[in-house]
Each structure stands twice: as structure tokens, then as C-alpha cells.
Amino acid sequence: MTNPLLDFSGLPRFDEIRPEHVGPAIDHLLGQAEAAVKAAETVVPLSWERFVAPLDDATERLYRAWGQVGHLQAVMNTPALREAYNANLPKVTRFGSALGQNLVLFAQYRALAATPEAVHYDAARRKVLDNALRDFRLGGAELDEAGKARFSEIKEELSALSAKFSQNVLDATDAFALYVEDEKELAGLPAEVIAACRTAAQKEGRSGFKLTLQMPCYLPVQAYADNRALREQLYRASAIRASEFGDAALDNSSTINRILALRAELAALLGFDSYAAYSIATKMADHPSQVLAFLQDLADRAKPYAQRDREELETFARDALGLATLEAWDLGYASEKLKQARYSYSEQEVKQYFSEPAVLAGLFDVIQRLYGLQVQADTAPVWHEEVRFFRLVEADGTLVGQFYLDLYAREGKRGGAWMDDCRNRRDTPAGVQTPLVYLVCNFGRGADGKPATFTHNEVTTLFHEMGHGLHQLLTRVGELGVAGINGVEWDAVELPSQFMENFCWEWAHVQAMSAHVDSGEPLPRPLFDKLLAARNFQSGMFTVRQLEFALFDMQLHSGFDPARDSVLELLDRVRQAVAVNFPPAWSRFPHQFSHIFAGGYAAGYYSYKWAEVLSADAYAAFEETPGELAETGARFRAEVLARGGSRSAADNFQAFRGRAPAIEALLRHHGMGG
């Protein structure tokens, strides 16, 4: 099989996929999928095996291949691959739109749901049918022909704009470099960061040091660089990425306005009064007003704590650091100095104990203790030499699933951290198709022959993404449409990931996952106690910052008109209401807000805070039964992770917790009382 994108016999052949494979593979798979749709339109008599299964077969192959292309575009972006991706994106989008608007298929699904056979379907199949009927309506199937055509045009343009938004952010990030000759300019930076900057310069045949906007460089500069001018220079470069202040070809200003206008038009076509209302139709929440009330209530509770945090930081910065004004590029630096002064430790001191081999061993131990599963090293074709591959097995050796781990930042790789599915669980005539996922981070590499070390926040990020991965890997559902995170309400998707973060704060687990990069000694208990005491350091400021993003997102998609109002002015109004930190007027945060303009979080960013309510309350069940980790873990696996989208998230939570979620645990965990 010469085209690796057409090989579904085993693991993806990432080491062989080339840009020239994309077009022919997608055209071939689109042809198969379109033929399957035609065949499904005339299936009589209707049954799951004759109607749903063949459709799933064809569309799964298409989206698995396209998923591999999209993944490579995110982690190994090249001009040729980007060109191939952008050329094929409209074709895939058009197919998806046509599928969602196919009235004949809609009628077939309704007819299948009405058959005597359907009455006896299990919960997963019934949920697939319910979701399909809902999604046909949301996909424009009931529009007239002109409406369908316009809906498809909008979806296609939105796909292209989202890809362009993300690519602009990536290109603007990679385009920046600051070369420093004198090491004294880097005073305060950790030794491994300085070493990495020196290595980056040497790779280009230059002397001195190369600083970039990649997170392993940018974040330490903001937190540790004594050189205030250096902090400001990198802050400014980061804050104006993909805006009118840089390369005009990478300016996301018009892209943002166009995306918002198209989303509003799409929602109106379907009879919704806003894109937020359209988005919430597939979420746990009932209406945008309910979400806004939840966010405002949390803001009212959190803002007094945030104001106290800000006042303390201003006082410290003035009295201890001599900073008469606390600018945006001082926040990270002053906060780190205040933390060191108050708790007598630094993030860098702690970081030396979280060496990569120990952290991974500790993470895998938590999985074993919670769910009785073992993580074992495995082999697979990979897209970069640094990528590793693992298998997850039951105690008896039965394969549960496999995952890729891509930990380090590099040029051509999208920033941030994420999990994505490569292949979902599915029951087939040949047996169970096991799930396969990607876990991607952007950490710094080890230097001078030593393994990488992680900040505690990076350890938490790794646990977070593994939580997403376990949601996908531990599903017991055999129907594609509701296996893993498929069909799970978007505002509940973050529950398993945020739940996993809690184990980064338990002494037994932290001790097991730490080994000093030089001595191999575990994190000392007194240092952990300081880390724990500082857990809620500035939690008020952090909370209102997340609420700022969530309120901005929800208001942006609730009746906002870019033709009459300014995105930046809306963000300023939100900040005036809830924020305590105000960036300079030239900051262009929306131009880099990929979550809502290039990801799946449009009118859904609030889900991070709502899922915190769910995850804190779920973890409280473990706190209440401290001697029953395996037993409680088994219940969480069975009632939440294994169920996937085959049952509503509210029902999953009720089955695990015995009641509806409550906010008290979240407030307690954040040190904000009741």
C-alpha cells in the first residue's frame, strides 16, 4: 500500500506520510464516503448493521486519515504540509456539511429510530440515534435549498478562517527571535534556560544566546529575568503577535471579525438568537443566561480575593523590589519573588526534583493505583525522534489502548498542550478496535546530558492531558458516535482532566514522582509543605483571569455585532467588571485566543470553570474515603470514564456521586471559603 494514509491495518505510518500523499488519499476516501452515503439513502429494510455500520466504516476511515494530517500540521508544520492541508480542508468541510444536511439520511435515521428493533437497542445505540437526529437539525438539514447552500458556504469559510487564525499565531510566534551577546543581560534566568538559549544560537552558527516566544523560553524570562527591559521586550513581542502591529499578512484582526459575523449568521439561519445559544444546544447548560449567571456568581465570590492578591503584590513590588508601578511584564517576576519571600522556596528549586523519568513513573503509578492498569513502553512509527509510545493494559495483560507522548516545544509545533484521538474504540465483527490517542505538551528539553525537569505547574499540565487521554482510552462503549469523548457535552469534557490534577498535590504521589535531577533524592517533605502552603497563592487573581476569558467568550457570541462594536472594547468592559490586572492598551490577546477562534471552545470557554466544579466535587469523593482509593477509582472509571457519551454527563456524575454537583468543594480547594 504505497499511500500510508490509506493503510488502516495497524498503527499510522507517521514516518512515511508526506504532503504529496494528502490529496490523493483524501480524494479516494471522500469517494468511498460519498458512495457509502448514496448506498445508505436506499437501504431497506433498515437495521443498524445495514445502515449505521457501513456509514461509520466509510466516514471513520476518512476522518482518521484527515486526523493524521491535522495532527501533523499541528506538531510538524511545514510549508508543503500546510499547503496540502489548506487545499483539502474545504473538501472535507463540504462533505461534513452535506452529510449534516442530507434530508434523505435524516429520514432514514428517523425511520430507524421508529423501528421495533430500535426499542431494544442498548443505551449507546439509542444515544447515537438521538444525537444524530439533533445534529441533523443543527447541521441545517431542515433548511430550504438556499439556506442549505449558505450554511455550507459559511461552514467552509469558517474552517478556512480557523486554520488561518492558528497558522498566523504559529508563524508570528516562530518569526520572533532576540539575540543577546552578553550573558549578564540574562541574569536571574535558570541555568538550563540559558544553556538552551546558547544551544539555539549555536544551531544557527551564532555566538551568544537566542531567545524566542516559545513557552520554555518566554515563561522563565517573565518569571525570573532581573532585566526589566528584557521582560518588557518579550512581553510586548508576545502580546502583539498576529495583530496589526506586526506582519500584515499575519494580522488576525479581520479574521476575528469575519469569524464572529459568520457564526452569528449561521446561528440565525437555524433560528437561534445567538451563536452562544446554538453552541449550548449540545452542552450541559440550558441557555447562555444560565452560563453568564454562573460566571458572574463565581466572579462576585472571587473578586475580593483577587483584589487582595493584587494589593499584596503591589505593596511587595514597591517595598521589596523598588517598582513604583506594577506593569504587565512585572507580574510574573514580582509574583515569583513574593512567593519565594512568603514561602521560602522558588519554582526553580522545586523543578529540580521533578525530573522527567520520575514524573512519568509517578504518573503511571497513579494510573495503576486508581484503575489497576499498567503503562508499558511500546513501539510505533512516529513523526519526530523525541516522540514516545506506550500501551495501557489490564492487570491480566489485556490491551486497553495506546498513546503517543510528544513532550517538547520546537519550531513548527503549535503551542500549548492537548490530547486528541487518533483512533477511537469500536466494536467490529473482527473484535474490539482499541483506542489510540495523542498527548502533546510544549516543555523544555533536558540540557547538558541531563533529563528534562518540569515545574510543578508543568507536572500538573501533564496529569491534566493524561486525564483527557484516560477518558478516551478507558471507554467501554463500542459505538463510535459515543465512545470516549465523542458525544460528551463540551462543558463536561474537562472533568476527567481536571480531576487528575488533584493527585499532583498528594504527598504520597508527589514523593513517588520526584527524584532530584542530580542526586536522585525525592522532594523533601518540608519543601512539599511549602509548595502545598502556596497552592492557593494568588488563586483569586487566577480565578478572575479565567472568568475574564470565559465572560469575554460568552458575551462575544451572545448578540455581539463586530460591525457595530469593537472586540477590544468588549474585552475592556469585561475586564473593568471582573479583572484586577489590566494589560497595556496595545496588547492584542484576542488575536491569539486560539481556543475560541481556532479550537472547539467558541461559546464554551466557561466549560473550564464548570468542569472545575465537577472535578472538585468528584475528587471530594476520594477525600471522603481516603482508604478506598482503588474502590472509589473503580467506581469513577465505571460510571464516568467508561460511559463516554453513551449517557448524559449529568447522569454520569449523579451515578458516581449519588447527587447533583455542588460548588462548595471548588471554593474550598481554591481557599475561597463558602
List pLDDT tens digits, range 335-387.
999 999 999 999 999 999 999 999 999 999 999 999 999 999 999 999 999 99
pLDDT band at 672 (very low <50, low <70, confident <90, very high): confident
User: Catalytic: which of 60, 156, 465, 639?
Assistant: 465
pLDDT band at 599 (very low <50, low <70, confident <90, very high): confident
Of the candidates 247, 30, 262, 249, the residue with the CA atom closest to the CA atom of residue 159: 262
499 & 583 share domain: no
Range of the domain at 479: 356-533
Q: Where are the alpha helices (DSSP H) in 2-78?
A: 19-41, 53-75
229 & 265 share domain: no
Sheet (strand 418-423) strand order: 374-378, 388-393, 399-408, 436-443, 418-423
For 117, the grid coordinates are 428493533
The model's pTM? 0.90
pLDDT band at 59 (very low <50, low <70, confident <90, very high): very high
Last residue of a domain, one of 91, 118, 138: 138
Within a domain: residue 199?
Answer: yes
Phi and psi at residue 236, to the nearest 5°: -60, -45
560 & 513 share domain: no
Of the candidates 260, 262, 271, 285, the residue with the CA atom closest to the CA atom of residue 570: 260
**If you average pLDDT over every residue of the chain, what do you get?**
96
Within a domain: residue 153?
Answer: no
Within a domain: residue 221?
Answer: yes
- Percentage of residues in the chain having pLDDT higher than 70: 100
Per-residue pLDDT averaged across 125-149, rounded? 96
CATH of residue 580's domain is: 1.10.1370.10
Per-residue pLDDT averaged across 543-552, rounded? 97
pLDDT band at 1 (very low <50, low <70, confident <90, very high): low
Within a domain: residue 212?
Answer: yes
Last residue of a domain, one of 240, 259, 291: 240
List pLDDT tens digits, range 469-484.
999 999 999 999 999 9
List pLDDT tens digits, range 228-266.
999 999 999 999 999 999 999 999 999 999 999 999 999
Within a domain: residue 663?
Answer: no
556 & 512 share domain: no
Whether 465 is a known active-site residue: answer: yes
Per-residue pLDDT averaged across 655-669, rounded? 91
421 & 446 share domain: yes
Within a domain: residue 405?
Answer: yes
One-letter amino acid identity for 167? Answer: Q
CATH of residue 84's domain is: 1.20.1050.40
At 43 the pLDDT is 96
Per-residue pLDDT averaged across 492-519, rounded? 96
Within a domain: residue 64?
Answer: yes
In angstroms, the CA 318 to CA 370 distance is 47
122 & 265 share domain: no
Last residue of a domain, one of 220, 240, 260: 240
Residue 672, SS3? coil
Q: Is the pLDDT of residue 673 over 90?
A: no
Within a domain: residue 68?
Answer: yes
CA distances from 477 to 79, 166, 420, 647 (A): 39, 33, 18, 10
560 & 529 share domain: no
Number of folded domains in the chain?
4
In angstroms, the CA 45 to CA 462 distance is 49
